[in-house]
Amino acid sequence: MEIMGATLRICVDDLETSIPFYERIAGAPALRNERGGVKVAAIGFFLLMSGPEAELEILRKVTATIAVKDVEEAHRELAALGAQIIAGPVPTPAGRNMIVRHPDGSIFEYVDRFTAS
């Protein structure tokens, strides 16, 4: 499994107020999206999320997002190492993702940029 990088997940009260600060420190523009009532802004290595508290409560349990070369390969390796696959792999607009609980109890999202040809 090849890890390409990680994204820090941050829940904020007001996405629009938070974006300029993170754009400035990351030196990158916000890429915005909305899913399930949660507004998201990806800015460099930061993923800002804002929305209904019930949704954010679930999202806060995920420590970070880890970009890998291939989610299917990561699935096989993590499962073989005793990790629990909570959800996925599933396709998303940007690639595939899955939610995994490591043996120590930490929860991570794994993503790739795989697109079907």
As a whole number, mean pLDDT of residues 93-106 equals 91
CATH (domain of 84): 3.10.180.10
pLDDT at position 36 is 81
Q: Is residue 117 part of a domain?
A: no
Q: Is 78 in a helix, a strand, or coil?
A: helix
Is 40 within a domain? yes
Does residue 25 fall inside a structural domain?
Answer: yes
Residues 76/65, Cβ–Cβ less than 8 Å: no
Please indicate, yes or no, if residue 36 is contained in any of the structural domains. yes
In a domain, 24, yes or no: yes
- Taking the model in full, what pTM does it have? 0.80
Nearest to 97 by CA among 50, 40, 28: 40
49 within domain boundaries: yes
Question: Residue 98: inside a domain, yes or no?
Answer: yes
pLDDT for residue 94 is more than 60: yes
| Average pLDDT value for the chain | 91
CB atoms within 10 A of CB 22: 21
CA distance 35 to 78: 27
Across 1-29, average pLDDT: 94
Mind listing the pLDDT tens digit for each residue in 22-49? Answer: 999 999 999 998 888 899 999 999 999 9
Give pLDDT, residue 117: 46
Any domain includes 16:
yes
Query: What range defines the domain where residue 81 resides?
Result: 3-112
Number of structural domains (the chain) is 1
